[in-house]
Amino acid sequence: MFRAILLFTALISSAYALVHGVDSSQLVSVATYKKARSEGFTKAVIRGYQEACGSGGRVDPNFVQTYKNARAAGITDIDMYWFPCCGSGNSCKSFAKQLTEIGNTFKTHSMKIGTIWIDIEKDSVCNNWNYGTAGNLAKAKKLIAAAKASGFKFGIYSSPGEWGNIFGSTSVVLDSSAPLWFATWNGAQSLTMGTKFGGWTSAAGHQYTDVSASGLFDLNVFAH
């Protein structure tokens, strides 16, 4: 009986264990990653693809080097996020083409990436997601279809505010079967969703602040 209780306790503890991670949109040095790792951040999420709406989207020029720096610092749990080029006023590459460029980068540089997080948020510079709420949902469905067809493991990054703004309501469902990484800068290092959106009832990751000592990171917790 005592052994069974210990086993149950271990399972409960494992289920609630969280991985602390940093995400970045800039070039990050080996030293900065080493410092983050020494503070308990063992996961890195790197911007791998940016809107670059003037050129239809591009692999982030800092992606490969930042990835190499993270690995050199001893971080092996690495994801990337894809800020897709879209918007009616932009000559964006197809979502399939954007994903092909991502995949080619993985292959060329022998990169081991866990999840591609699709960043769904508004950007006033590129004026993306400007198709109207119904049009935005239709475009987002094409985005998800391309991600599924690519064969990559993917999830969705967004926030309640961005979701409601883009799709007209937080209750609009795009693909609630995909893992969710949500942003709510409330400082709470937990996966609890204060405001549920998109049909998700639980999350795989939470970006809880955009403030870090280096100024290069947002801070997160992820499910183990």
What distance in Å separates the CA atoms of residue 176 and residue 222, rounded to the nearest whole number?
A: 17
3-state helix, strand, coil in the chain (%, to 5): 35, 20, 45
Choice among 23, 51, 60, 79 that is catalytic: 23
The catalytic position among 77, 101, 121, 123 is 121
From 51, 119, 162, 218, active-site residue? 119
Provide the terminal-to-terminal Cα distance of the chain, rounded to the nearest Å: 28
Query: How many residues are there in the chain?
Result: 224
Based on the residue annotation, tell me whether 121 is a catalytic residue of this protein: yes
Residue 38, both tokens: 């020494």
Quick check: is 162 catalytic?
no
Quote the CA–CA distance of 25 and 171 in Å, as a whole number: 29
Active site residue 23: yes
- List Cα–Cα distances, 63 to 20, 35, 84, 109, in angstroms: 21, 19, 15, 11
Strand boundaries in the chain, DSSP class E: 18-24, 43-50, 58-59, 77-82, 116-119, 154-158, 180-183, 205-209, 218-223
Q: Which residues are catalytic?
A: 23, 119, 121
